Amino acid sequence: MSKKYKAIVIGTSAGGLEALVKILMPLPKDFSLPIIIVQHISPDSDNYMTQYLNSVCDINIKEADEKEKIKAGNVYIAPPNYHLLIEENFTLSLSNQEKVNFSRPSIDVLFETAAYAYGSTLIGVILTGANNDGSKGMKLIHNFNGLTIAQDPKTAYVDNMPLAAIKATKIDYILPLEKIAELLIKIHSGQKKKK
């Protein structure tokens, strides 16, 4: 793992909050890779998820804002009813264009724009969920030589999303949630040592 990664994108749907807790909670306070997340949520949700994750995790978790610059050490979550995009100047952008894969925010929209912005320095993670959103984005991340990680479908609350991604492209790691957190920490500490 000699490559230097610059960002992580995570997509999840049904069962996602529990999955995110298992991945984000173990991350140390000094975990500096920015993480950008799309969780399928109802359009009229409040920001309970962001507040809850912030209360149980050591790293800073916030709802993404329009034109916000992506900073090390932050976790950004797509607000309800908005697609979250990453611009090529590494700022976040919100859009209320039509749904993609019946979803807004859509995982594919985040993953595809992130792949174009970060190229081979991106890590894509697909978790539990009930449709195939994210599979096209994972394929693009793989095509750009980014790192692809899927939750082991056998451990997912709903296995459709990881299965669709595994079918769509080559996944570098298929792991249960706690092993995903371990891998991200290992990559991060490996990069810190190289500085």
Of 13, 103, 106, 135, which one is the catalytic site residue? 13
| CATH T-level assignment (fold) for domain 7-194 | Rossmann fold (3.40.50)
Please provide the DSSP assignment of 137-174 as one string. Answer: HHHHHHHTT-EEEEE-GGGSSS-HHHHHHHHHS--SEE
Instruction: Report the distance separating Cα 159 and Cα 129, nearest Å.
Output: 6
pTM of the complete model: 0.97
Instruction: Report the distance separating Cα 137 and Cα 92, nearest Å.
Output: 17
Of 103, 106, 108, 133, which one is the catalytic site residue? 133
Instruction: Report the distance separating Cα 151 and Cα 165, nearest Å.
Output: 10
Residue 1 pLDDT exceeds 50: no
Tokens (6 digits) for 107? 């995982």
Instruction: Report the distance separating Cα 171 and Cα 165, nearest Å.
Output: 8
pLDDT category of residue 195 using cuts at 50, 70 and 90: low
The per-residue pLDDT for range 126-178, each reduced to its tens digit, is 999 999 999 999 999 999 999 999 999 999 999 999 999 999 999 999 999 99
Q: What is the pLDDT of residue 137?
A: 98
Residue 66 pLDDT exceeds 60: yes
Beta pairing class for 122-126 and 147-151: parallel
The per-residue pLDDT for range 14-60, each reduced to its tens digit, is 999 999 999 999 999 999 999 999 999 888 888 889 999 999 999 99
User: Is 188 a known active-site residue?
Assistant: no
Residue 185 pLDDT exceeds 50: yes
Q: What is the pLDDT of residue 192?
A: 78
User: Is 40 a known active-site residue?
Assistant: yes
* Domain residue limits, the chain: 7-194
User: Is 42 a known active-site residue?
Assistant: no
